[in-house]
Structure 1
Amino acid sequence: MRLTALLTATICLATANVLAAERPNILLILADDLGYSDLGAFGGEIETPNLNRLAASGLQLTSMYAAPTCSPTRAMLMSGTDNHLAGLGAMAEAIQPFQRGKPGYEGYLNQQSYSISELLRDGGYRTSMVGKWHLGLAPEQGPDRRGFEQSFTLLEGGGVHFKPTPGSTAKIEQITYRENGQPVELPDDFYSTDFYTDKLIDYLKAGEGSGKPFFAYAAYTSPHWPLQAPDAYLDKYRGRYDTGYDEVRLARIARMKDKGLLPPNFQAAVPLPVTPLLPGWQQLNAQQRQVEARKMEIYAAMVDNLDHNVGRLLDYLRQSGQLDNTLVVFMSDNGAAGERHELFYPPGPDTDNSLQNLGRRGSQIDYGLRWAEVSAAPMRLFKGTTAEGGISVPAIVQLPVSIRRQGLERSVARVDDLAPTFLALAAQPEPGDSYRGQAKHPITGRSMLPMLQGKGRDEVIMAGELFGSRYYREGNLKLLGLVPWAKPGEAPKPLRWQLFDLSSDRGEQQDLLSSQPQTVERLKQAWQAYARQVGVVAPPQAAKP
């Protein structure tokens, strides 16, 4: 009996190991507010050797897209469908009165949507997550209730990267951490990116003997505001940004052309006009330049530290013999961030934004719109818009060694294509419009697997909307509708439509609106059909184009 039981257990374990070997692991790494040209592989001057090596050994996706901001992207990533169907038609923090209570504007990943972690868990994967959740604050909305067997997460959209100061009244320090749904006490030496990596490696090590493949999601909060970095990184980039915005931006664009990321004749976007409220480098005095350069030095330090931690994850997988059978996906959640967070997160009584303390505990600064234009190079505008600089993101994919290929992949894909890609690689069928007796929004993203294997991609049709700005893309034609900024107290400004041919003008500099009126009208109608299909809720005065 004992011998029979032993043989049976051995056979079962061997079978499980074979199945695990046949189905690859999946490691998804999401950076927060990383700009298109920040990484060395994408033309940046910041030192990112680990991500550069990943890009060299895999595929560099030059036309990967996300939503304009973080939680809508995360909803699309998890659900495999449009953010308006998944519950994040607007960020929870920005839902307008006319949107409250409407389907798709719940402010969390709703139950009508799939969760890729649930599907992979039910398909035999062990699932773990660390970092930013931003898909619901209530206990029943957390990652532990949406398919992650192990999770250590920040529930909100952002906050200090160090351990919050006890008793602080600053809004930026009022944040919530949970491990497997339970409150946790952070260690005194907590720094977000370092700690998340420690925790994810611990989770992966704990599951090594399970015989199951893993789905691991590292949702880093770096380099999201506030700009804070460990002391070991704070002085590394001193002096590198003293030349100002334009020189750094132009150098990035030149390197992108040298790398073949851009054609030699690429027409980059033009920075926003200089105004008293938005000065250029030449309009700053010496003290202002010192502060501005310091901001970018700290931002670069955060990206450098992020790269180091990605390297730690890859080293663990390599040393444990799991990397060759792992799909690794790295991307940003949206374009570079140009917003002024201090308008919504005022400094507290203990905030110290002195030059000497920038980047350390107690400071809370953005790097500002002008550096965001640098990070977004060569694209136009930045996070929060549907222009290319808001939704184009750097992305790197390394396939399992059995199907791996290298190079630049220029085909168009979007974040909602990841869920069906993971299912295809895991040999799991897409579940359709119901699951376990509950009606669901079907997965509408398209598997990227054929594209990643070099088998091409059908002509793209994509559409999106956030904060009233919108786009409809058919092939290389992009109809772009932007809501111009209004100063506090000003009446909302009317939507401005533009048309661009991205095959020759990804910098969005040559507006074709007046020369192709029939195309514009057709794409407007297509956008309206999309808006009806996914349930976009527009303000009454903007209900019609």
Structure 2
Amino acid sequence: MVVADDVGFSDFGAYGSEIRTPHIDAIAANGVRFNNFHVSPMCSPTRAMLLTGVDSHLAGVASLYVATPLHHRGRPGYEGELRTDVVTIASRLRRAGYRTYLSGKWNLGRTASSLPSARGFDRTFALDATGADNYEKKPYLPIYDEPPPWFADGEPTDLPDDFYSSEHLVDTLVDFIDGDRGAVEPSPFFAYLGFQAVHLPVQAPREFTERYVGTYDEGWDALRHARHQGAVAAGVFPATATPANTPEQADWEALTPDEKAFAAKNMAVNAGMLEAMDHHFGRLVEYLTGAGLAENTVFAVLSDNGPEAGDPAASAVFDSWAEGVGYSRELATLGEQGSYAIIGPHFARAAAAPLAYYKFHGGEGGIRVPLIMSGPGVEAKGVVPAFAHATDIVPTLLELTGTSDTTPAGKHPISGLSLAPALRDVAAGIHPADEAIGFETAGHAGVFKGEYKLVRVGAPEGDGRWRLFNIQEDPGETRDLASEQPQRLEELLSDYEAYAERVGVREVPASYSPGRQLLINYLFDRTMANLGWWVAGAGLGILLIVALVRCIRRRRAQLNPR
């Protein structure tokens, strides 16, 4: 399972992109592409569902812990780490005789019971954080005081001096696999490869970035239109459908020449970072082919959510923080070690095109992402239009490997369905038309049912209103059907309420915004940490005073015996 980070719907070449991803495209050419596959708008909930087949609330990771309202923290579903009453696919496959490996982003907890080494993985090199620098171990956002933590087989570890994330994560995974090849009877294996590309900070070696210099000089509107045409040509977006028109796009022509050059260079780094990821994924495929393993390997390549639209540099504290940590935004070296590239909301919208919105939002651009599968059991070729969900990956891999999906007593059963029928016939359906599949993350909520989607898009771009779309005909979500089909609206609202009750959704405040909550949580945690030192210091002072008083009393007693 290969999980890219913040890759948009049309970012891979096989989905209509100008970015060169030949190795991923080759996997697509030999298998199937899903164009109606859905995840959470945030990374941790998606990863929880991908690894357990269980809704993210029931898995304990309803939202990013760092963006969870303070009064939700620690409540059922909002523990911020993978609960012990869910079973990972690694645990299931290990019981079936598989060796299990993880290399890359985990972000599902770092306690003794939640690190991947405690959740079914034999060998691990894991990042337990929302993101990280791609070259060195240091804080990557102003809200973090410490570098993101890395763990090797459950123990804290550091990074080598020549670290570049995509390269090192593939090297590590190859070492894990190759280390078991010498066994008398090598076991089959399951590998989870969690790339950092293309999460903030956007960084890529110069040779990859240079290939895209000039590519984005026409701006985000031109790219958005090109991506729409590319997606139609690739067969992943209906030619008859209207591309999204939300959220609003800034006027590229209103920028100065210097501003245009800077924005275009940031996007060039983003493209270079994705091509670098594909290049190193190709090295993994090359290794598996040389070892005689590729032809018997099932590949699932996907993204955890839509593209990142956030712009940390817009913060008033960013420049001083960046200087202190050692980040530069100089045009000439953008993307290289010590630099910090950001694509921002307007290029992010283009990366999600022709869909609406992006990461942190419940519009299709935030939750509909690429899914490519190939290998044994994938007999079909082409595009699968059937609705599919993150919880479907576990039952699919279990069926393809002939592994039982029976869940031990006291654990949450798998809620997803196997995608295997669509792997044999791209026209096959997966979920019954009358099945309601709900979702909720940080106030972005909705339910899918047949061809329809009920959705509430919250802050920072949405208005919190419920809208109804036929996403089979209108994947761009351009025509709200709520007033035309009030009965269907009420039916899906009832379905959502039942889902929310079943999984334990807690509504966020009306004023909630992920960015604002990140800052609130940071200030609260920092205050509590400092308060803890004051309390500890005060407590120590009291103990010292008590000890001194007792010492004085004993001394007086010795000098004045009765």
Using the size of structure 1 for normalisation, the TM-score is 0.88
Counterpart CA distance in 2 for 1:466 and 1:314 is 34
Q: Does 1:359 align with 2:335?
A: yes
Query: What pairs with 1:54-453 in structure 2 (closer than 5 Å)?
Result: 54-164=27-137, 171=144, 174-208=147-181, 209=183, 210-274=185-249, 279-342=250-313, 343=315, 346-349=321-324, 350-400=326-376, 403-432=378-407, 434=409, 439-453=410-424
Paired amino acid for 2:2: I
Query: What pairs with 1:497-512 in structure 2 (closer than 5 Å)?
Result: 497-512=466-481
Q: Is the 8 A contact 2:42 2:63 kept in 1?
A: no
Q: Quickly say closer, same or farther: Cα 1:513–1:533, change in 2 above 3 A.
A: same
Q: Is the 8 A contact 1:159 1:173 kept in 2?
A: no
* Secondary structure of the corresponding residue to residue 140 of structure 1: coil
Describe the superposition over 1:242-275 as per-residue Cα deviations: whole angstroms up to 9, x where unpaired. 011111121121122223222322200014335x
Counterpart CA distance in 2 for 1:453 and 1:126 is 27
* Secondary structure of the corresponding residue to residue 201 of structure 1: helix
Unmatched 5+ stretches in structure 1: 1-27, 487-492
Deviation at 1:525, TM superposition (A): 1.0
Counterpart CA distance in 2 for 1:358 and 1:156 is 23
Q: Quickly say closer, same or farther: Cα 1:294–1:271, change in 2 above 3 A.
A: farther
Q: Quickly say closer, same or farther: Cα 1:249–1:29, change in 2 above 3 A.
A: same
Identity %, equivalent residues: 35
* Secondary structure of the corresponding residue to residue 306 of structure 1: helix
Deviation at 1:100, TM superposition (A): 2.1
Q: Is the 8 A contact 1:171 1:348 kept in 2?
A: no
Q: Quickly say closer, same or farther: Cα 1:235–1:173, change in 2 above 3 A.
A: farther
Q: Does 1:525 align with 2:494?
A: yes
Describe the superposition over 1:506-533 as per-residue Cα deviations: whole angstroms up to 9, x where unpaired. 1000001111112111111110000000
Specify the structure having the higher radius of gyration (Cα): 2
Q: Quickly say closer, same or farther: Cα 1:316–1:499, change in 2 above 3 A.
A: same
Paired amino acid for 2:413: P
Q: Quickly say closer, same or farther: Cα 1:540–1:391, change in 2 above 3 A.
A: closer
Structure 1 stretch displaced more, 81-90 or 449-458: 449-458
Deviation at 1:113, TM superposition (A): 1.1
Describe the superposition over 1:68-102 as per-residue Cα deviations: whole angstroms up to 9, x where unpaired. 11000001111111000001112111121231231
Counterpart CA distance in 1 for 2:75 and 2:458 is 22
Select which of 445, 450, 455 maps to 1:475: 450
2:485 alignment counterpart? 516
Counterpart CA distance in 1 for 2:38 and 2:166 is 24
* Secondary structure of the corresponding residue to residue 190 of structure 1: coil
Counterpart CA distance in 1 for 2:447 and 2:130 is 27
Counterpart CA distance in 1 for 2:348 and 2:200 is 12
Counterpart CA distance in 2 for 1:272 and 1:445 is 31
Query: What pairs with 1:450-465 in structure 2 (closer than 5 Å)?
Result: 450-454=421-425, 455-459=428-432, 461-465=436-440
Unmatched 5+ stretches in structure 2: 512-562
Counterpart CA distance in 2 for 1:92 and 1:251 is 36
Computed over aligned residues only, the root mean square deviation of the Cα atoms, in angstroms, reads 2.1
Deviation at 1:183, TM superposition (A): 2.4
Counterpart CA distance in 2 for 1:365 and 1:221 is 14
Deviation at 1:172, TM superposition (A): 7.9
Deviation at 1:189, TM superposition (A): 0.9
Q: Is the 8 A contact 1:160 1:172 kept in 2?
A: no
2:543 alignment counterpart? none
Give the paired residue count: 500
Q: Is the 8 A contact 2:137 2:158 kept in 1?
A: no
Deviation at 1:219, TM superposition (A): 0.6
Paired amino acid for 2:189: F
Counterpart CA distance in 1 for 2:378 and 2:37 is 20
Describe the superposition over 1:347-368 as per-residue Cα deviations: whole angstroms up to 9, x where unpaired. 2423211212311222223210
Q: Is the 8 A contact 1:164 1:173 kept in 2?
A: no
Paired amino acid for 1:111: T
Q: Is the 8 A contact 1:170 1:348 kept in 2?
A: no
Deviation at 1:341, TM superposition (A): 3.4
Q: Quickly say closer, same or farther: Cα 1:35–1:540, change in 2 above 3 A.
A: closer
